[in-house]
Structure 1
């Protein structure tokens, strides 16, 4: 939805003073990105209060984070030690297709495509002829996840992300940001002050004016030219001061509550996130070096807090380290995320549940996109409109991918799952589902987060059986097809057998070796390439 940041007669103010309202993961990721790339040109201040807690449960990431860390020049081993991180190769979806049926959505590439058709067509042909094993057997990352193994491989041979402690990550980025000149201001925001009318004689409502300053509870005023709203779901600037509306997606995504807690580790950390379906939602388990992050995401229309909490406490291991914390949310997005001289990033701009670990990615994309389109000489409506359009499209594609998990299922054991199977989905998702079901074809929209392989893994995993495959696959005879599939599977198994256990590798590599380490992965480790930037 287009928006104009300033009336035609309003002055265009150069942007030199950037004020970030709120800390946490969102605030400090933005501060780190802007200070590292543009810090010498800007005065950046971040306002946060130690009295206000953060959500702090977005502890699973996707491979795009490596790009962000490469941009910031982050030492991977130092980062892992500081955030108690482990490696992540994908997500194990347990009971999503049906009770007792599991699959993994991995970060890898499955098989080898032909220029005429994707690998899935040859695999489908192989399944028809009794020549192919499970689809995941042709993906290195998926098989390594199943075997609890990991290592950096030459030439970016293993796609991966991290599990991390979000609170420690925010503190780590704070140190980095302050090293690049960001000033942290302690205090609670009491009011958002707007500029006076623009002098044109028009009576401009406050919500259609630029923000002038933040007034803190002690009376201090923090003035700025550009304001970044990282105040979480309160959205004090974008939502409250500027009155930007909110698009509610709960008719597609019914879960509106979460309960989170932490437990002590009692077993080796696995290199994947666990997502365990329940009759009213799902449960996560995220293994770190020092503890496990746990929680449930649930629909308050289908269960209550006590039932969800009891289920959570009954499905964890290890000493409970923190008191269960209830979080309320509304899935959806703001009508626009940039209005006038304010940009909402993180929960202030919208929320999608953490099913596919996209929260930190969306913060990262927002920060990088803002850096790429930074309005040095003044805010222009063309930049604002393009930024809003790109962010809206990206969020809608991720929304469709998450809806896929809920809608395409064989579960009928509870009202929630029966309702989700029967619901009408967005037309954009319906087309993808019909195309894959009828032809086994997939497509990727330009700049979309999730790759074709991600869509295929989840659609197959959730139970879609394509009706046909591409005729190119028919050009292979049984002997050739068997050799093609068998050689590929054997190469993957040979590599997996040589990998160390994930736990052993993390203890050696990720437990911290000091700040004198090189700022790039060790010899043989992957560099950030197109495969890592795009794969999810």
Structure 2
């Protein structure tokens, strides 16, 4: 073996990122002899705690930890999420859904959407949402878990994720991690100690004087990036040219309005507003570009958009879109905000933590810290950030809105190279391309390009092998099956009452 096994892992910072890392390491590696996993956090340092929406990959993470889904839903006051609804993004008064899962049914060896494009060219227009079980169930407020044992049913293609209270999730994972040997230390890091020759971090000193030594350090210190940024000086790649939003104001409110299993994003004059309904409250926030609107006006717009009564004072955040040039430097790996930030338009923040943990477990080092594993980790991490960036930029670049200076700026953006190629391919032939197993699938790219009004320049020639009547008949059949299936599904509230409702559990305890 090149180097000795790592024996001391130190996680600096708690919150969602820190406790996700602790829970994963404790589950996968906690039984290794002589391994110490220690997490340092301070109650005096608040966490951002506004990331409440996720994407379907979170299910794999929870499964890896061995979490019971009903218990997880109850403990985090979670609701289900079938996609993201975008309101006023393409133009005012327009809305569409980016659903989880897939559209329709592939036929004759090609993607379904080529048949939909041909039918539209022939004058038989139906909204793309009508061919997604997730989109239609989301609109109807319905939910049931996928039924993979019925491969012919639309329910086999239903993708879902969660919306949950991030602080409750961190506490839930803390219990899980501590039960698997992770040690928590209360304290604030006041100094980072380094080897004089190599520059490797050797330990951190706490405000009480204690020095915590380690061999591998995970930087989960949030925007401060205490280890990777401040101590090791890894530069930051700034993407504010393409993603100019640099501020957010967040505020929870009481339950009111609809209870659809969807995250909602509503475009505003200089950014957008999120709405995330949980079991016990609604999470709200306004992401905006400070170059186009001031803080007071941004806060006013958020307050005007609340469905219920505010439950807290505004929580104001500042950020820059981008990431550290290297997410792993020497013996420090950054997870979460300490490594980078991309606005939560497509709920990717928690996923980036999850993928960073998975990559670390795959490439877990020895004390040799060889450059091959570190280099691969950094290449894959940088590529994932770039792929997500391009997908986010699509939402802004493809908008038809020109009613404010902000939207005129976004429409005039020169798209990054990867996005430009995807747009050119779709606009020339209707083809949707996905590179190197990137996070967002063909369904995702199709939904946003169509939803934002990008026009397909054609369709696959094989789609013409079905005559017009047969094409229309098959599309109508798919819509009908989806409509019938959604009609038989329980509402999300009914499903929660039987499977993980925290409110129902509290009522049973008090009865």
User: What is the alpha-carbon distance in structure 2 between the residues aligned to residue 414 and residue 469 of structure 1?
Assistant: 34
Secondary structure (helix, strand or coil) at the match of 1:105 reads strand
Do structure 1's residue 436 and structure 2's residue 441 form an aligned pair?
A: no
- Report the CA distance between 1:420 and its aligned residue: 0.8
Decide whether the 8 Å contact of 2:140 with 2:260 is kept in 1. Answer: no
1:268 Cα deviation after fit: 4.9
> Retained in 1: the 8 A contact 2:89–2:452?
yes
- In structure 1, the partner of 2:28 is 37
2:303 counterpart residue number: 313
Contact in 1 for aligned 2:102/2:157 (Cα 8 Å):
no
* 1:117 Cα deviation after fit: 2.9
2:69 to 73, 76, 79: 76
Residue of structure 2 in register with 1:67 after alignment: 60
1:427 and 2:417 matched: yes
Deviation at 1:157, TM superposition (A): 4.2
Report SS of the residue matched to 1:96. Answer: coil
1:329 is matched with 319
- Deviation, structure 1 residue 507: 2.3
Structure-2 residue corresponding to 1:175: 175
Write out aligned runs for 1:408-487 (5 A). 408-487=398-477
50-59 or 107-116, which deviates more: 107-116
Could you tell me how far 1:473 is from its partner in structure 2? 1.1
Q: TM-score, normalised by structure 1?
A: 0.90
Partner of 1:506: 496
SS state of the match for residue 247, structure 1?
strand
> Is the 1:13–1:225 contact (alpha carbons within 8 Å) kept by the matching residues of 2?
no
Q: TM-score, normalised by structure 2?
A: 0.95
Match of residue 152 from structure 2: none
Partner of 2:8: 17
Q: CA offsets per residue over residues 401-452 of structure 1, 9 Å max, x none?
A: 0000011010000001001111112111101011111111111112310000
1:188 to 2:188 alignment: yes
Between the aligned partners of 2:64 and 2:504, the Cα distance in structure 1 is: 21
Q: Secondary structure at the match of 2:378?
A: helix
Does the aligned pair in 1 maintain the 2:430–2:457 contact within 8 Å?
A: yes
1:248 to 238, 244, 248: 238
Offset from partner CA, 1:203-239 (integer Å, 9 cap, x none): xxxxx51100010111100100000000001000000
Q: Relative to structure 1, is the Cα distance of residues 138 and 322 closer, same or farther in structure 2, using a 3 angstrom cutoff? A: same
Partner of 2:391: 401
Q: Which runs of 5+ in 2 are unaligned?
A: 149-155, 506-511
Q: Could you say what the CA RMSD is over the residues aligned between the two structures, in angstroms?
A: 1.5
Query: Does residue 287 in structure 1 map to residue 280 in structure 2?
Result: no
Match of 1:302 among 260, 273, 292: 292
2:361 to 360, 365, 371: 371
Contact 1:108 1:159 in 2 (8 A): yes
Aligned to 2:153: none
Provide the C-alpha distance between the structure 1 equivalents of 2:51 and 2:107, rounded to a whole number of angstroms: 37
1:379 Cα deviation (Å)?
1.3
Residue 113 (structure 1) aligned with residue 106 (structure 2): yes
Say if 2:123 is the partner of 1:137.
no
Partners of 2:336 and 2:352 within 8 A in 1: yes
Q: Which runs of 5+ in 1 are unaligned?
A: 1-10, 198-207, 516-536
- Matched with 2:509 is none
Q: Which has the higher contact order (CA 8 A, sep 6+)?
A: 1
